[in-house]
């Protein structure tokens, strides 16, 4: 066996490993996974023996704070990252504010039950600092939301709100969201974080450039209305987001016009109970037409024709049987089980065709599709 | 947003589906691709590719575990990108190392896997992972599904690198015998 053959076989094994059962994948992503993300977070927190207990008795003026961290901070950080959506990137670990040592107070004094907690001048100053910072943040937000208060509406409109460098990397947006959130809000949901990122990015643009135009105003408005960060940034014209390539069409003629090729489906191609009117037609301009039919009993069948010869079924399921058979004079790749096919793909005259059905198709039904789709 | 709601958006052909997917699983998908390719830009492109493939796949598909579904798409996209980069003699990422290690699992004899269907192979892999102890299974999946390095696995599980290496070597040996017993060496 040559090294190339060996590598090819290893690669096939590596690819097959990608199709292992979902639960193994999820289990390894979230080692303590038991259910929802919240449950996972709880489980991981518990297993890491990290607990933060705060009890306050306002009447007695007693406060006891106990922090126990028995795991290295980075391990806790990783586990928490996984618990919050299993979206960690090992080489780009997010630093967290997980406590890695006892609070810098007199631990012995605080551990004594019933001990009155004294506020030293340093603590008072720290608290005052936090209060001032909070006031500044609120004031800044108010001014930001109502720029007319400072007469900012008259500033020139023309410059882009943000440079591409500032906005291209979505990771930077996420970091901005993390920074915007206070430590106690570290687990805030990502949607809020996205809005905060948009707002903060807009603030950055304002402070860096001293200029805000209509695009930025729109971005801020979007952010205020709860739009996700990328929408707001895209509105400022600074970052391209993924465009939806599909366009819904009212008729096959319109679809053919946009696609630049014809797609004929004879009525006899459809199984009994489907059609003749399509439930849905959509097109990727210049590339693909998709026609969906809904059956009388709730099933659906999706027919596609696209430029090229690649498999355009869009179906990534594993089936018991995948085989290539000669059907209606075509080499057709069938996926499913013997005489119970869910996916059929073939190429003809430079175009690729695909049939994907939610209910099993017999070989003769597939044959009707192959013969009836042009 | 709940996964089922995101899937519904895909079925309604709502463009919001992609935004919601990006918000909830964008980093995860990019992470999966990054582990394989070890290149931020390629990983980002794979992430975008994942959204497009997911859009094309739903409907007709209705995945029960959306995160795993997206992860598999991202992983496949990363492997596809690796094949392209290999052809272009560009960056190699983590794949060559994984391929080299997995060669230990190949049963003796020529034409191995040639007559084995993908489904049979995956069934054997599932059975192998099913019987493996939990921690060992995690090590194996983290290494060969997620593409984590030995050091990353050791760090994540609080184990030594030598322990992880030893565990993986034993599992590869065990997988080889499972594949051989399962008649994969056809």
Task: State the pLDDT at residue A321.
Answer: 84
Which of B68, B83, B123, B130 to probe by mutation at the A interface, max A CB count within 10 Å? B68
Distance in angstroms (rounded) separating the CA atoms of residues A144 and B20: 27
Determine which of A143-157, A253-267, B56-70 has the lowest per-residue pLDDT on average: A143-157
Nearest CA in chain A to B150: A90
Strands A280-284 and A351-361, by their bridges, are unpaired
Residues of B within 8 A of A6 (CB-CB) are 103, 106
Residues of A in contact with B122 (CB under 8 A): 16, 19-20, 318
Residue pLDDT, tens place only, A152-188:
444 433 333 343 444 444 444 444 444 433 333 333 3
Report phi then psi at B13, rounded to 5.
60, 40
Nearest to A13 among B1, B64, B105 (CB): B105
The mean pLDDT value for A228-242 works out to: 42
A32 touches B: beta carbon within 8 Å: no
B61, closest residue in chain A (CA to CA): A315
Cβ distance B19 to A358 less than 8 Å, yes or no, reads no
Asked if A10 and B99 come within 8 Å (Cβ–Cβ), the reply is yes
Taking all residues of chain A, what is their mean pLDDT, rounded to a whole number? 62
Q: Which of B23, B93, B105, B109 to mutate to test the interface with A (most CBs of A within 10 A)?
A: B23
Partner residue opposite B76 with nearest CB, options A18, A29, A171:
A18
The verdict on A53 touching B (C-beta cutoff 8 Å) is no
Average pLDDT over residues A68-88: 36
Residues near B156 by beta carbon (within 8 Å), at least 6 away in sequence: A75, A78, A79, A90, B142, B148
Of the listed ranges A216-220, A323-327, A359-363, B149-153, the least confidently predicted one is: A216-220
pLDDT for residue A45 is more than 80: no
Strand A300-307, strand A321-327: pairing = unpaired
Chains A, B: CB contacts within 8 A come to: 194
Place A50 in a pLDDT band, splitting at 50, 70 and 90: very low
Among A residues 196-225, those touching chain B with beta carbons less than 8 Å apart: none
Given pLDDT bands bounded at 50, 70 and 90, which one contains residue B184?
A: low
A89/B34 CB distance under 8 A: yes
Asked if residue B115 has pLDDT above 70, the reply is no
Question: Which residues of B are less than 8 Å from A72 in CB distance?
Answer: 158
Q: Which residues of A fall within a CB distance of 8 Å from B95?
A: 11, 14
Q: What is residue A122's predicted lDDT score, i.e. its pLDDT?
A: 63
In percent, the amount of chain A with pLDDT more than 70 equals: 47
Query: pLDDT class for A202, splitting at 50, 70, 90?
Result: very low
Please state, as a whole number, how many other Cβ atoms lie within 10 Å of the Cβ of residue A270.
20
Examine the predicted complex and report whether its ipTM is higher than 0.95.
no
Residues A298-346 have pLDDT tens digits of 678 889 999 888 888 887 777 778 889 998 888 999 988 888 898 999 9
Q: Is the pLDDT of residue B11 over 80?
A: yes
Which uninterrupted H or E stretch holds A333?
A: strand A330-337
Mean pLDDT of A356-367: 88
Helix, strand, coil tally for chain B in percent (to 5): 75, 0, 25
Angle at A309 (CA atoms; ends A372, B59), nearest 5 degrees = 70
Residue B95 tokens read as: 């794949």
Q: Quick one: pLDDT at residue B21? A: 92
Residue with the bigger pLDDT between B130 and A30: it is B130
- Confidence check: pLDDT of B168 > 50: yes
- The yes/no answer on whether domain B3-87 falls in CATH 1.10.1740.10 is yes
Dmax over CA atoms of chain A, in Å, equals: 89
C-alpha distance from residue A26 to each of A58, A251, A287, B66, B150 (Å): 44, 42, 35, 10, 19
Contact list, A23 vs chain B (CB under 8 Å): 65
Which of A87, A191, A335, A338 should be substituted to probe chain B, the one whose Cβ sees the most B Cβ atoms within 10 Å?
A: A87
Q: Is A299 on the interface with B (CB under 8 A)?
A: no
* Mean pLDDT of all residues in A258-266: 91
Number of residues that make up chain A: 374
pLDDT at position A345: 93
| Residue in A28, A248, A320 nearest the CB of B146 | A28
What is the arithmetic mean of pLDDT over A130-158?
67
Q: Class for domain B97-181, per CATH?
A: mainly alpha
Q: How far is A190 from chain B (nearest CA, A)?
A: 7
Ordered by start, the domain boundaries in chain A are 22-111, 155-235, 246-372
Q: Is A339 on the interface with B (CB under 8 A)?
A: no
The token pair at A258 is: 């946009």
* B86: confidence class by pLDDT, cuts 50, 70, 90: confident
> Taking 60 as the threshold, does the pLDDT of residue B69 lie above it?
yes
Q: Which of residues 307-326 of A touch B (CB under 8 A)?
A: 312, 314-322
pLDDT at B88 exceeding the cut of 80: no
pLDDT higher than threshold 80 for residue B65: yes
Q: Does A133 have pLDDT greater than 50?
A: yes
The full set of domain ranges for chain B reads: 3-87, 97-181
CB A226 within 8 A of CB A214: no
Task: Give me the mean pLDDT over the B56-71 stretch.
Answer: 88
User: Of B52, B93, B91, which Cα lies nearest the Cα of B73?
Assistant: B52
- Who contacts B89 (Cβ-Cβ below 8 Å, separation ≥6)? none
């Amino acid at each position: 066996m040559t090294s190339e053959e060996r590598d090819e076989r290893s690669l096939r094994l590596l690819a097959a490993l990608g199709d292992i059962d979902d639960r193994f994948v999820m289990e390894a992503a979230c080692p303590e996974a038991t259910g929802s993300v919240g449950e996972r977070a709880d489980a991981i927190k518990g297993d890491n023996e990290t607990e933060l207990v705060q009890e306050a008795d306002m009447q007695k003026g007693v406060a006891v704070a106990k922090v126990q961290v028995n795991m290295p901070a980075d391990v806790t950080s990783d586990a928490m990252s996984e618990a919050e959506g299993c979206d960690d990137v090992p080489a780009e670990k997010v630093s967290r504010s997980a406590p890695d040592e006892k609070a810098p107070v007199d631990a012995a004094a605080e551990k004594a039950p019933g001990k009155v907690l004294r506020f030293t001048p340093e603590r008072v100053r720290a608290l005052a600092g936090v209060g001032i910072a909070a006031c500044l943040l609120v004031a800044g937000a108010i001014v930001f939301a109502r720029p007319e208060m400072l007469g900012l509406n008259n500033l020139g409109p023309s410059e882009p709100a943000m440079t591409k460098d500032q906005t291209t990397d979505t990771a930077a947006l996420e970091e901005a969201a993390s920074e915007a959130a206070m430590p106690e809000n570290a687990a805030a949901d990502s949607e809020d974080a996205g809005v905060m990122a948009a707002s903060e990015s807009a603030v950055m643009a304002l402070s860096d450039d001293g200029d805000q135009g209509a695009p930025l105003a729109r971005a801020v408005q979007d952010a205020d209305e709860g739009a996700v960060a990328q929408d707001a940034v895209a509105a400022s014209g600074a970052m391209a987001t993924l465009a939806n390539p599909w366009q819904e069409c009212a008729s096959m003629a319109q679809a053919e016009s946009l696609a630049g090729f014809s797609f004929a489906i004879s009525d006899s191609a459809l199984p009994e109970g489907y059609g003749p009117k399509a439930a849905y037609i959509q097109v990727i301009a210049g590339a693909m037409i998709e026609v969906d039919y809904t059956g009388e009993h709730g099933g659906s069948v999706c027919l596609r024709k696209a430029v090229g010869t690649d498999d355009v079924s869009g179906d990534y399921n594993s089936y018991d049987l995948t085989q290539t058979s000669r059907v209606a004079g075509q080499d057709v790749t069938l996926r499913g089980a013997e005489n119970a096919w869910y996916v059929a793909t073939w190429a003809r005259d430079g175009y690729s065709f695909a049939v994907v059905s939610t209910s099993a198709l017999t070989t003769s039904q597939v044959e009707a599709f192959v013969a009836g789709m042009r | 947003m709940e996964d089922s709601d995101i899937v519904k958006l895909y079925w309604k052909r709502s463009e919001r589906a992609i935004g919601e997917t990006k918000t909830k699983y964008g980093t995860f998908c990019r992470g999966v691709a990054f582990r394989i390719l070890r290149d931020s830009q390629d990983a980002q492109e794979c992430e975008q590719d994942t959204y497009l493939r997911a859009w094309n796949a739903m409907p007709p598909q209705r995945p029960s575990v959306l995160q795993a579904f997206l992860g598999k798409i991202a992983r496949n996209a990363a492997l596809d990108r690796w094949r392209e980069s290999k052809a272009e003699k560009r960056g190699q990422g983590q794949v060559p190392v994984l391929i080299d290690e997995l060669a230990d699992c190949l049963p003796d004899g020529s034409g191995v896997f040639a007559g084995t269907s993908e489904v049979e192979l995956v069934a054997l892999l599932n059975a192998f992972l099913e019987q493996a102890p939990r921690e060992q299974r995690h090590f194996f999946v983290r290494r060969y599904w997620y593409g984590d390095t030995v050091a990353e696995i050791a760090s994540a599980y609080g184990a030594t690198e030598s322990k992880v290496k030893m565990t993986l070597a034993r599992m590869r040996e065990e997988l080889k015998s499972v594949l051989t017993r399962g008649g994969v060496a056809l």
